[in-house]
Chains A and B, each alone.
Chain A
Amino acid sequence: DAGITQSPRHKVTETGTPVTLRCHQTENHRYMYWYRQDPGHGLRLIHYSYGVKDTDKGEVSDGYSVSRSKTEDFLLTLESATSSQTSVYFCAIRESGENHYEQYFGPGTRLTVT
């Protein structure tokens, strides 16, 4: 699992409340990613980071923000949760190096917005 943990693993929250999901890695990988996975869709990229304080948007970034103040932690924040953000969220890291480097995923966080 490349030392990736996500917290919380499950969360139920109400519409309009802020939510922060945490991804923690133990192997000092430079690149970290946040994806969401919904039925009928492939994994979709929300945001990614290529270093401390270096982040960029993915294809479904609206309504989400991220922060990376330390190499090991990548936080995903829903400023005001909506029902459309009910999903399973996966964090991932990728190894640096050759073009066909590995990407490893965390165990996921199941978020329900009521």
Chain B
Amino acid sequence: KNQVEQSPQSLIILEGKNCTLQCNYTVSPFSNLRWYKQDTGRGPVSLTIMTFSENTKSNGRYTATLDADTKQSSLHITASQLSDSASYICVVIESGGSYIPTFGRGTSLIVHP
């Protein structure tokens, strides 16, 4: 069964600090991996999408990396802000036509002033 595991489950950091969130997956065959940000009470919003051939992708202060050989991804947040407080969800898409994504449970990030 396809699985996406995220760590840590929750994280508290001070404003201005950096942090890294981890994602391990077993989805195969692999198509692409996405990171979403979900604010409390809202739907998830896409941060990055990476295909097999991409090792890193940035979106402002968010940088995602992908190692397709070890089936690991990370999301690095630089100079955190209070507005970064949210749940960060890793999603892996299996290749093929049906586009059925497998979602991780998310990492809950709290940024304190």
Residues of A within 8 A of B (CB): 1, 31, 40-45, 48, 56, 58, 90, 92, 94, 99-100, 102-108
Contacts and interface: CB of A to CB of B under 8 A. Distances in A.
Given A100-B32, A102-B49, 7 more contacts: A1-B43, A40-B105, A99-B32, A100-B49, A103-B46, A104-B43, A105-B45
Contacts of B21: none
Interface of B: 4, 31-32, 34, 41-46, 49, 51, 89, 93, 95, 98-106
A106 B41 CA distance: 11
Interface of B (DSSP majority class): strand
Question: Of residues B32, B49, B101, which shows the largest number of chain A Cβ atoms within 10 Å of its Cβ?
Answer: B101
Nearest to A102: B46
B36 to A, nearest CB: 8
Contacts of A94: 99
Contacts, number: 49
Contact of A90 (B43, B46, B102, B104): B43
Question: Of residues B34, B44, B105, B106, which shows the largest number of chain A Cβ atoms within 10 Å of its Cβ?
Answer: B44
Nearest to A106: B43
A102 to B, nearest CB: 6
A100 B34 CA distance: 9
A45 B32 CA distance: 18
Contacts of A31: 99
A94 to B, nearest CB: 6
A41 B105 contact: yes
Nearest to B102: A42
Contacts of A58: 100
A104 B101 CA distance: 13
A105 B43 contact: yes
Given A99-B51, A100-B32, A45 B100 contact: yes
Given A99-B31, A99-B51, A100-B32, A42 B46 contact: no
A26 B106 CA distance: 29
